[in-house]
Structure 1
Amino acid sequence: MTSLFQILMLLIDVAFFIILAHIIMSWLINFGVLNLRQPIVAQLWDGLNRMVEPIYGPIRRRLPAMGGLDLAPLVVILGLYALEIVLRNNVAAFL
């Protein structure tokens, strides 16, 4: 059961880094550092969007309008940290 706990922690870490990559890439695109007309950038952006939009969509529908400020990534990161805390505090159930 310890391996199950480690796999869950790994999945949480991977999800965190995917969301972090999406946030950083969105900033770089918005500030003009990256150009979506470049094929590799467009493919990476499309892939990241396809991974995170199923998670962000329901959260965006529930959050109030913030005037162009997207808080969905913050909510997801906080949720991941909360899930990690719950799992670490209940690690005895996995032993």
Structure 2
Amino acid sequence: MEKTMYALFATIDLALQIYIWILVASAIFSWLFAFNVINSNNQFVNQVGMFLYNVTEPVLRPIRRLLPNLGGIDISPIILLLIIFFIRMLLATTVAPLFGVRM
């Protein structure tokens, strides 16, 4: 039972880590796109951009609705990173020990 729970918590933690990297990649991609550093006409670049947008936008949209207008500055990825950090710490320090799992 303990090994199964450890595997579950480790998998959840890994998924959250991967999503953090996707958020970072999406932010960097949006900056590169905004400053015309990358060629938006390239099909591969366009597909990467659409993937990053489709994966991150459903989570970022509700956060953006709650934030005040900051004049073109989007801090929703930072807020989401803080939320993910909180969830990871909560899992490691509170939830996992309840099941006898040390992370």
Answer whether TM exceeds 0.5 for this pair. yes
Name the structure 1 match of 2:93: 89
Q: Find the residue that maps to 1:32 and give its secondary structure.
A: coil
**Structure possessing the higher radius of gyration over alpha carbons:** 2
Q: Counterpart of 2:67 in structure 1: which amino acid? A: L
TM-score (norm 2): 0.87
Cα RMSD (Å) of the superposition? 1.0
Q: Counterpart of 2:53 in structure 1: which amino acid? A: N
Q: Deviations over 1:17-47 (max 9, x none)?
A: 1101101111111222112111111110011
Which consecutive unaligned segments of at least 5 residues does structure 2 have?
Answer: none
CA distance in 1: counterparts of 2:17 and 2:50, whole angstroms = 21
Q: Deviations over 1:48-71 (max 9, x none)?
A: 101111001111111000100111
TM-score (norm 1): 0.94
Residue 93 of structure 1 deviates from its aligned partner by: 2.1
Q: Counterpart of 1:93 in structure 2: which amino acid? A: L
Name the structure 1 match of 2:14: 10
Alignment of 1:34-53 (within 5 A): 34-53=38-57
CA distance in 1: counterparts of 2:92 and 2:19, whole angstroms = 17
Structure 1 stretches of 4+ moved >4 Å: none
Q: 2:24 aligns with which of 20, 23, 31?
A: 20
Which consecutive unaligned segments of at least 5 residues does structure 1 have?
Answer: none
